[in-house]
Chains A and B, each alone.
Chain A
Amino acid sequence: MSLRSIRQGALILGFLGVGLTLLFHWMVFFWVSTEATLGISQRIFYIHVAGMWTGMLAFIVVAVCSAMFLWLRDDRLDQIGQAAAEGGLIFFAVGLTAGPLWARLAWGTWWTWEPRLTLSLLAFFVYFGYLMVRGATENRERGKTFAAVIGVVGAINIPLIHVSVLWFRSLHPEPVVARTDGPALPADMLITMLTALLAWTVLLFALILLRYGAARLEARAEERALQRGATV
């Protein structure tokens, strides 16, 4: 994949993602009905869930790329993994900041160490470590390998976050969308939720592509600098 096509892909996906994001904002504030018990604060749900979902999706991309990097030793896989880890952290940060703002009104507390919240915070720090460890070693290749191992091992946490509300006693409600007997949301809320998920998934992949393009250019610049150093 050439750098030009990466940029074009990022641009197309970016425009689509921004358009869908504006649409879901319009739906959240002007179209979807207000939930009877939680009131207006329930509208935080759409960015909270979309942020967490997109973050988890990005972490799955990190795990797949890390596993493939350990096998194939292709630097491009490491670069995609790094871009996805940054994206995952960003969207997870959105979910983790929106969550307490909603929890304060719904549960009466900003934060509680219940299983899903604790596991989500753990995932955030695991992937923060994934980014930190690559710069912490003197040997760059070793740093990439350590990061890839963290990327793979950290993925064990992702399904646990999803099933934690079923396995443990939790303040979080049971899943309302991904259920075996179908979604438990009213139609307008479900449509808004799915639009939000689609919008931020598209935006995530656009930004991952853009970040990957930047990483490829950086690698090229480093290569050139090395070549110049060798000829001098």
Chain B
Amino acid sequence: MKSRVPRPLLHARPSGAGMIAGTMLLIGVASMIPLELFAQAAPAATRLEMRHFWHVFIAYALAWVILFGWVLSILKRLRRVEEKLD
């Protein structure tokens, strides 16, 4: 009787599409950080101003998450149907 050894998570290799999507997500998020604006506002960073920053950050981050979610779902669908056709 074969014993099933669970595969460690660290040995799991991400797929090519996953790596590309992950890299693009990182680039997208990095491009969103308004460093220059942050530096300008730092001296008079009131609570309200920080709130404005957070709202802008969350709005752009959510936009990217939603868009990448759709792209990933299409890529997953494509891979599944290609496997079916092969």
Contacts and interface: CB of A to CB of B under 8 A. Distances in A.
A47 B49 contact: no
Contacts of B36: 29-30
A94 B32 contact: no
A224 B59 contact: no
Contact of A98 (B28, B53, B63): B63
A94 B62 contact: yes
Interface in A28-46: 29-30, 34, 39-41, 43-44
Q: Helix, strand, loop or mixed for chain B's interface?
A: helix
A41 B70 contact: no
A97 B49 contact: no
A105 B51 contact: yes
A128 interface: no
A76 B69 CA distance: 25
The range of chain B's interface size is 20 to 34
A48 interface: yes
Interface of B: 24, 27-28, 31-34, 36-37, 41, 49, 51-53, 55-56, 58-60, 62-63, 66-67, 69-71, 74, 77-78, 81-82, 84-85
Interface of A: 18, 22, 25-26, 29-30, 34, 39-41, 43-44, 47-48, 51, 86-87, 90, 93-94, 97-98, 101-102, 104-105, 203, 207, 210-211, 213-214, 217-218, 220-221, 224
20 contacts: A25-B32, A29-B33, A40-B49, A41-B56, A43-B34, A43-B56, A44-B55, A44-B56, A94-B67, A101-B55, A207-B70, A207-B71, A210-B71, A213-B78, A214-B81, A218-B81, A220-B85, A221-B81, A221-B85, A224-B85
